[in-house]
Structure 1
Amino acid sequence: MTLAEEFRSRNFSIYGQWTGVICIILCFALGIANIFHLHWIILFSVICLVCSLVLIFVEIPLLLRICPTSSSFDAFIRKFETNYMRAAIYFVMALIQFLGIIVKPTSLIAAAIVLLIASIFYALAGVRGQSFVGSKTLGGQGVAQMIV
């Protein structure tokens, strides 16, 4: 299945996974950009950086096979294999970044909005009863099992 066929499948978990990849890039970039503030916003930028690192392992399952991680970290990441759990983690991350607006409005709001969009995609996949389908491009559907 090519990338174009994956997007035409109308499976919201594919849309959520690719939005998650955008979240990884955005959270990392905005976390670094906002870490230089001399304000409480530093805390939210560090949280944004940590979120990007967690999302890398949630959205790209191939990295769990390649990178040396502890068994407890692997067990934590494997909790997010369903659409509802992914929607929940994205919603919590978005909520934390939206709370950062109370402290000081910064560009972290862009990360919060994209995290919320990913959460909505995964929630729609769960509500529609679509099973989670990982993109082959990102290491899903048997690609991670071939690397052993």
Structure 2
Amino acid sequence: MILCFALGIANMFHLHWIILFSVVCLICAFIILFIEIPLLLRVCPTSPAFDGFIRRFETNYMRAAIYFAMSAIQWISIAAKRTSLIAAAVMLLIASLFYALAGVRGQGFVGSKTLGGQGVAQMIV
């Protein structure tokens, strides 16, 4: 998430249509933030449609799919121009592979109370 955010900002200053891919990278950073820290859905004022979109990615397979899609978008940016967005593409692909591997091995997703996993609803209410 931090890499997507940093590279999205760093590539904003190109005078090329790579700017579109850097904006997408910034958007991906915020999507990752909400996916990985579900407590933010309770704290930040978001729309029900956005909440529903983020809640789709609770399983390892769905997280692997969204990370793979974000990675594919950044890989496509190579067609426009070779930039540091390749690093974001590689890291998103690695994250996707690890989530897919966890899904294949049957490992359940483990959330922590600190980041908004099980038990946070009782703490907030």
TM bucket by the smaller chain? over 0.9
Aligned partner letter, 2:105: R
5+ residue gaps, structure 1, are 1-23
- Whether 2:104 is the aligned partner of 1:130: answer no
Question: Which deviates further from its counterpart, 86-95 or 138-147?
Answer: 138-147
Deviations 1:105-148 (A, max 9, x none): 10111111110111011101100011111234422232354223
Shift of 1:40: 1.3
Cα distance in 2 for partners of 1:144, 1:63 equals: 12
Match of 2:19 among 42, 54, 59: 42
Aligned to 1:79: 56
Q: Provide the C-alpha distance between the structure 1 equivalents of 2:85 and 2:121, rounded to a whole number of angstroms.
A: 32
- Specify the alignment match of 1:117 in structure 2: 94
Identical amino acids, percent of aligned pairs: 78
Query: What letter is aligned with 1:54?
Result: I
Q: Kindly tell me: are residues 41 and 144 of structure 1, through their superposed partners in 2, closer, same or farther at Cα, counting changes over 3 Å? A: farther
Residues 1:142 and 2:122 aligned together? no
- Aligned-pair RMSD on alpha carbons? 1.2
**Structure 1 residues 64-73 or 137-146, which shifts more?**
137-146
Aligned amino acid, residue 63 of structure 1:
L
2:75 matched to 1:94? no
Equivalent pairs counted in the alignment come to 125
- Give the whole-Å Cα distance in 2 for the aligned partners of 1:47 and 1:145: 35
Matched, 1:31 2:13: no
SS at 1:140 equivalent: coil
CA shift for structure 1 position 77: 0.5
TM-score, structure 1 length as denominator?
Answer: 0.80
Higher mean displacement: 71-80 or 126-135? 126-135
Larger RCO (alpha carbons 8 Å, 6+ apart): 1
Which amino acid counterpart does residue 99 of structure 1 have in structure 2?
A: I
